[in-house]
């Protein structure tokens, strides 16, 4: 998921500088308020189909373009596809670009045979989709052979330039089934927070294991040359995860950063939203973090994003609802987004992003293969 506000500094600073810089972008936005962000939104509008010319389906990741560069146009939305036209999970290779006027173009079609670096298993694009300063697009890959969970491989993070060409890969260093991602940048330094779901899951053969992780990856984007992965730290561990015949894999999914530097994680199997304190600066794992909210309207949370008022927005895999949660864990609003499927919304909702000018929430609907807007 995309972080809502991005601070811009000459270089990464102390934890105090992180907080001051972030608050300066949106005064008061980090505080808990009694006002809901989505409560006044009453309509769901389909923006466009996310199926490209090669027939890929199952849209997962969502990222709003904030600066025009190359093929990226400010206000457009990038969407990554996880399945191929045969609906085999972990085989999707395309990112589409959707304009506010409903026009759709192909941003990139990625060939596993022509990657510039290691990506164990190949290409199967996940919810992990972000845009870094300089127009660098990073997308996660959790590949399979024919959608069989037993064949899932570690994958990688694919780095694309602003015209959609893969220029390098980040693999190893704890990257193992990158399932979702968020980021924050300070000048030419970006911290990526990546949820991983393949630590021990394939070997367990469908049984739940508690080995899911959240990594913090430090990436520099120099004025010349390619982005560089310079450091990596496991800041969360022990999350429940499993392979699944229908969902491929279930584990920690959405990640969202607030203005105080706490990272929130959608702990899908445990039916809760967790928080990892001091995510930008900590040097060790917070294990499974602190429980912010559990159960109630939260039913298999997947996508997660921070709203402009500091609340959290998550979408359920078990009923197609979006839930707004305050930082203190109060579940204050429930909105039905997907009513198709059996049951409604079954596994249909993944990527989320707040629309420009805070006019709504973009989300993908896997059941209809569309990018939609709650407004």
pLDDT at residue 226 greater than cutoff 80: yes
For residue 28, the SS3 value is coil
Give 212's strand partners: 239
The alpha carbon torsion through 118, 213, 125, 345 (nearest 10 deg) reads 170
Determine the Cα–Cα distance for residues 45 and 34; give it in Å rounded to an integer.
27
Determine the Cα–Cα distance for residues 365 and 60; give it in Å rounded to an integer.
8
Domain 15-374 has CATH 2.120.10.30: yes
Q: What are phi and psi of 143, to 5 degrees?
A: -90, 155
Whether residue 312 contacts residue 264, with contact meaning beta carbons closer than 8 Å, is answered with yes
pLDDT at residue 285 greater than cutoff 60: yes
Strand 331-336's sheet: what is its strand order?
301-306, 312-316, 321-325, 331-336
Q: Mean pLDDT score of the chain, rounded to an integer?
A: 91
The DSSP element (H or E) to which 24 belongs, if any, is: helix 15-25
Q: Supply 16's token pair.
A: 């105090």
The pLDDT score that the predictor gives to residue 343 is 73
For residue 217, the SS3 value is strand
Determine the Cα–Cα distance for residues 238 and 105; give it in Å rounded to an integer.
40
Determine the Cα–Cα distance for residues 367 and 73; give it in Å rounded to an integer.
27
Q: Supply 136's token pair.
A: 């660098």
Q: What is the mean pLDDT of residues 298-318?
A: 97
Give per-residue pLDDT as tens, 21-65. 332 223 233 333 458 999 999 999 999 999 999 999 999 999 999
The pLDDT score that the predictor gives to residue 344 is 74
Give 229's strand partners: 219
Phi/psi zone of residue 122: left (φ > 0), alpha (ψ -120 to 50 degrees), beta? left
Q: Supply 13's token pair.
A: 């600073």
The answer to which of 304-318, 335-349, 361-375 has the lowest mean pLDDT is: 335-349
Give per-residue pLDDT as tens, 190-219. 999 999 999 999 999 999 999 999 999 999
């Amino acid at each position: 998921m995309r972080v809502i506000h991005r601070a811009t500094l000459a270089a990464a600073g102390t934890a105090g500088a992180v907080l001051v810089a972030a608050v300066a972008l949106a005064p008061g936005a980090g505080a808990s308020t009694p006002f809901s962000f989505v409560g006044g939104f009453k309509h769901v509008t389909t923006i466009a189909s996310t199926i490209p010319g090669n027939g890929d389906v199952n849209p997962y990741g969502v990222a709003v373009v904030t600066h025009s560069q190359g093929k990226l146009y400010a206000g457009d939305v990038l969407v990554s596809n996880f399945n191929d036209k045969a609906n085999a999970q972990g085989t999707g290779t395309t990112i589409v670009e959707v304009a506010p006027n409903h026009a759709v173009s192909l941003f990139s079609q990625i060939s596993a045979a022509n990657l510039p670096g290691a990506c164990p298993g190949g290409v199967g694009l996940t919810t992990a989709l972000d845009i870094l300063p300089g127009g660098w697009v990073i997308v996660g890959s959790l590949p399979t052979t024919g959608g069989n969970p037993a064949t899932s491989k570690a994958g990688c993070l694919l780095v694309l330039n602003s015209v959609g060409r893969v220029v390098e890969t980040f693999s190893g260093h704890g990257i193992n089934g990158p399932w979702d991602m968020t980021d924050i940048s300070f000048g030419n330094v970006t911290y990526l927070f990546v949820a991983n779901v393949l630590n021990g899951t394939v070997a367990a053969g469908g049984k739940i294991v508690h080995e899911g992780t959240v990594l913090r990856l430090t990436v520099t984007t120099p004025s010349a040359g390619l982005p560089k992965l310079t450091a990596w730290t496991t800041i969360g561990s022990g999350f429940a995860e499993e392979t699944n015949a229908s969902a491929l894999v279930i584990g920690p999914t959405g990640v969202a950063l607030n203005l105080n530097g706490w990272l929130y994680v959608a702990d899908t199997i445990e039916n809760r939203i967790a928080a990892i304190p001091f995510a930008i600066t900590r040097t060790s794992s917070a294990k499974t973090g602190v429980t912010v909210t559990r159960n109630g309207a939260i039913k298999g949370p997947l996508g997660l994003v921070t709203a402009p008022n500091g609340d959290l927005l998550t979408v359920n895999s078990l009923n197609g609802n979006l839930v707004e949660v305050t930082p203190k864990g109060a579940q204050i609003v429930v909105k039905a987004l997907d009513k198709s499927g059996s049951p409604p919304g079954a596994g249909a909702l993944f990527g989320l992003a707040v629309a420009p000018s805070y006019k709504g929430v973009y989300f993908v609907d896997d059941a209809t293969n569309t990018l939609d807007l709650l407004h």
